[in-house]
Amino acid sequence: MPCRSSEELDGLVREAKKVTKHGKVANYIPALQKGNRDDLSVAIYHADGTCLSAGDIEQKITLQSISKVLSLALALMDCGEECVFNKVGYEPTGDPFNSIIKLETNHSRKPLNPMINAGALAVTHLIKGVNVEERLERLISFIRDLAGHNVITYSLEVAQSEFETAFLNRSLCYYMKQDGIIDEDVEDLLDLYTKQCAIEMDCLDLARIGLVFAMNGFDPVREKQIIPVEVARLCKTFMVTCGMYNASGEFAIRVGIPAKSGVSGGIMGAVRNRFGIGIFGPALDEKGNSIGGIEFLEMLSKRYELSIF
Ligand code: GLU
């Protein structure tokens, strides 16, 4: 059984931490600059309900791009596959997560996939509710259900910091509004999206949510199907093909675990039928992934042969 001892997990995290000095903390969202480059914490949540952790596990992180998997699951549950993939495609892109170029050059005008910013904005647009507050409340309750407790909320400071500086995401929205992909007020959509990205939790919560994906939408702790199997399968497929930005191909080769990262330095991983992984390490590599987090996952995957390939 992989990684059942805290000493072993501590050892892997200590080893992985050595590379954090080569990374940089994200600064394009001003509030994220406060992250400490040397931090690395990891939690593993097993299907039998037992957990292991290493590092400062109390520390909260904002989900940033990890939230894209969760909004995709909710939008698929709200509107169905046909409606979602009418707005967004299935294909990975070799471009950075916030690139605008394919919105102009791709003949269908749809964002290429739900894990890049344009695609995620189009997906968030589909979350049902009469106004931004109700849509956010629905997303947060869904995430609370996935994490198995009620205290999850969002960081107003991080949301505001991103809202005030989200010029590129505004541009993506205006392109998509021009092309009829979205039809709501751009400021409303950005308000919802930046709050979604600023939803906060610790690594244990992240690992617990990863476990639900690992179990195909089933929460083994409360014995409850939270996400339909087909929706969980779709989300995990996007985690494999596009979850680690434009480094997803290399990650599939080096690690081979369905995972999603965010610019806050978080990574959520799902090891099929076995466990969920939550990582926080704010030092990022040049593609925007947690450098220590990837190092840890590569060591874990090789040691226990966790690659799905
Ligand atoms: N809120 C960030 C943005 O939209 C998320 C990006 C990320 O984590 O990759 O730019």
Residue 205 CB less than 6 A away from ligand 1: no
Alpha-helical regions (H) of the chain:
6-17, 67-79, 81-87, 101-105, 117-124, 132-147, 156-165, 167-178, 186-197, 203-214, 229-242, 248-254, 291-304
pLDDT in tens, 138-177: 999 999 999 999 899 999 999 999 999 999 999 999 999 9
- Is residue 193 flagged as an active site residue? yes
Average pLDDT over residues 119-132: 98
How many other CB atoms are there within 10 angstroms of residue 180's CB atom? Answer: 9
Q: What is the dihedral of CA 203, 264, 256, 113, to 10 degrees?
A: 120
Rg (CA), the chain: 18
Distance in Å, CA 66 to ligand 1 centroid: 9
Gap between the Cα atoms of 309 and 297, Å rounded: 15
Name the residue at shortest CA distance from atom 4 of ligand 1. Answer: 117
Q: Is 273 exposed, middle or buried (0-12, 13-18, 19+ CB in 10 A)?
A: exposed
**What's the confidence (pLDDT) of residue 1?**
56
- Is residue 224 flagged as an active site residue? no
Average pLDDT over residues 8-16: 95
Gap between the Cα atoms of 297 and 291, Å rounded: 10
Give the DSSP letter string of 167-180.
HHHHHHHHHHHHTT
**What pTM, to 2 d.p., does this model score?**
0.96
Average pLDDT over residues 11-21: 96
**What's the confidence (pLDDT) of residue 57?**
87
Q: Which domains does the chain have, with CATH numbers?
A: 4-61+202-302 (3.40.710.10), 65-197 (1.10.1500.10)
- Is residue 65 flagged as an active site residue? yes
| Minimum-distance ligand 1 atom for the alpha carbon of 28 | 10
Percent of the chain at pLDDT above 70?
99
Residue 169 CB less than 6 A away from ligand 1: yes
- Is residue 261 flagged as an active site residue? no
Average pLDDT over residues 19-31: 92
What is the length of the chain? 309
